Amino acid sequence: MRILFAGVALASCGYWLLVVVRFAQVRRAVKRLADLPAPAPARWPRLTLVVPACNEEAALGPALRSRLTDDYPDLEVIVVDDRSTDGTGRVADAIAAEDPRVRAVHVTELPPGWLGKLNALELGGRAATGEWLLFSDADVHVEPGTLRRAVAVAEARDLDLLAVLPRVVHRGLLLTALLSGVIRSIALQFRLWEVEDPRSRAYLGIGAFNLVRRSTWQRAGGFDWLRLEPVDDAGLGLLFKRIGARCGLAAAQDLVEVEWYPSFWTAVVGAERAAFSLCDHRASVAFGAAAFSLVTELGLFLGLLPTPVPGLRALVIATAALATAGSAALDVWAGAPAATALLLFPGAVLSAAMVVRAGIVGAMRGGIVWRGTLYRSSELRPGRRVRLFGAWQTPLPRVAAPPRAG
Give how far the C-alpha of residue 38 lies from the chain's centroid of Cα atoms, to the nearest Å: 24
pLDDT (mean) for 290-312:
92
Is residue 343 within 8 Å of residue 175, measured between CB atoms? no
Confidence label for 6 from pLDDT (cuts 50, 70 and 90): very high
For residue 41, the model assigns a pLDDT of 94
112 in the same domain as 62: yes
Distance between CA atoms of residues 271 and 358, nearest Å: 7
pLDDT (mean) for 109-130:
96
Distance between CA atoms of residues 9 and 87, nearest Å: 54
Is residue 50 within 8 Å of residue 123, measured between CB atoms? no
pTM over 0.85: yes
The tens digit of pLDDT for each residue in 240-299 reads 999 999 999 999 999 999 988 888 899 999 889 999 999 999 999 999 999 999 999 999
> What is the DSSP track for 127-140?
H---SEEEE--TTE
Is residue 10 within 8 Å of residue 312, measured between CB atoms? yes
How many domains does one find in the chain?
Answer: 2
Please check whether residue 203 lies inside any domain of the structure: yes
Please check whether residue 279 lies inside any domain of the structure: yes
Is residue 81 within 8 Å of residue 107, measured between CB atoms? yes
Hey, how many other C-beta atoms are within 10 angstroms of the C-beta on 358? 26
Please check whether residue 129 lies inside any domain of the structure: yes
Confidence label for 401 from pLDDT (cuts 50, 70 and 90): low
56 in the same domain as 19: no
Confidence label for 394 from pLDDT (cuts 50, 70 and 90): very low
C-alpha pair distances (Å), 207 with each of 55, 163, 165: 17, 9, 9
222 in the same domain as 128: yes
Largest CA distance in the chain: 74
Please check whether residue 73 lies inside any domain of the structure: yes
405 pLDDT more than 70: no
Torsional class of 102: left (φ above 0), alpha (ψ -120 to 50), beta (otherwise): beta
Please check whether residue 163 lies inside any domain of the structure: yes
Distance between CA atoms of residues 190 and 187, nearest Å: 6
322 in the same domain as 270: yes
Please check whether residue 1 lies inside any domain of the structure: no
Of 239, 262, 285, the residue at which a domain comes to its end is 262
Please check whether residue 398 lies inside any domain of the structure: no
Domain limits for position 48 = 29-174+189-262
Average pLDDT of the chain to the nearest whole number: 91
Q: HSE on the CB side for 112, CA within 13 Å?
A: 1
Of 247, 262, 277, the residue at which a domain comes to its end is 262
Distance between CA atoms of residues 207 and 232, nearest Å: 8
Beta strand segments in 108-203, E: 132-135, 140-142, 161-165, 167-169
Distance between CA atoms of residues 219 and 176, nearest Å: 40
Give how far the C-alpha of residue 197 lies from the chain's centroid of Cα atoms, to the nearest Å: 18
229 in the same domain as 81: yes
Confidence label for 316 from pLDDT (cuts 50, 70 and 90): very high
pLDDT (mean) for 8-33:
95
242 in the same domain as 292: no
SS3 223: coil
Distance between CA atoms of residues 362 and 359, nearest Å: 5
pLDDT (mean) for 1-30:
94
250 in the same domain as 316: no
- Side chain identity, residue 134: L
Is residue 162 within 8 Å of residue 206, measured between CB atoms? no
Residues belonging to the chain:
406
322 in the same domain as 211: no
Closest to 314 in 3D by CA, of 303, 299, 325, 326 = 303
Closest to 130 in 3D by CA, of 213, 242, 20, 249 = 213
Distance between CA atoms of residues 103 and 92, nearest Å: 8
4 pLDDT more than 80: yes
155 in the same domain as 80: yes
Give how far the C-alpha of residue 229 lies from the chain's centroid of Cα atoms, to the nearest Å: 13
Non-local (6+) Cβ contacts of 396 within 8 A are: 242
272 in the same domain as 239: no
359 in the same domain as 242: no
CA triplet 30, 35, 40: central angle to 5 degrees? 120
Please check whether residue 397 lies inside any domain of the structure: no
222 in the same domain as 296: no
Distance between CA atoms of residues 185 and 180, nearest Å: 9
Confidence label for 184 from pLDDT (cuts 50, 70 and 90): confident
227 pLDDT more than 90: yes
Of 213, 243, 262, the residue at which a domain comes to its end is 262
Torsional class of 81: left (φ above 0), alpha (ψ -120 to 50), beta (otherwise): beta
pLDDT over 90 percentage in the chain: 76
Non-local (6+) Cβ contacts of 198 within 8 A are: 244, 246, 247
Q: Of all helices (H) and strands (E), which one includes residue 68?
A: helix 57-68
Judged on CB neighbours under 10 Å (0-12, 13-18, 19+), 353 is middle
pLDDT (mean) for 324-339:
86
Distance between CA atoms of residues 268 and 361, nearest Å: 11
For residue 340, the model assigns a pLDDT of 82
- Indicate which CATH number applies to the domain containing 38: 3.90.550.10
Is residue 316 within 8 Å of residue 303, measured between CB atoms? yes
Confidence label for 182 from pLDDT (cuts 50, 70 and 90): confident
56 pLDDT more than 60: yes
Give how far the C-alpha of residue 369 lies from the chain's centroid of Cα atoms, to the nearest Å: 19
359 pLDDT more than 70: yes
Confidence label for 140 from pLDDT (cuts 50, 70 and 90): very high
In terms of pLDDT, which residue wins out, 112 or 173? 112
The tens digit of pLDDT for each residue in 371-393 reads 888 999 999 999 989 987 665 55
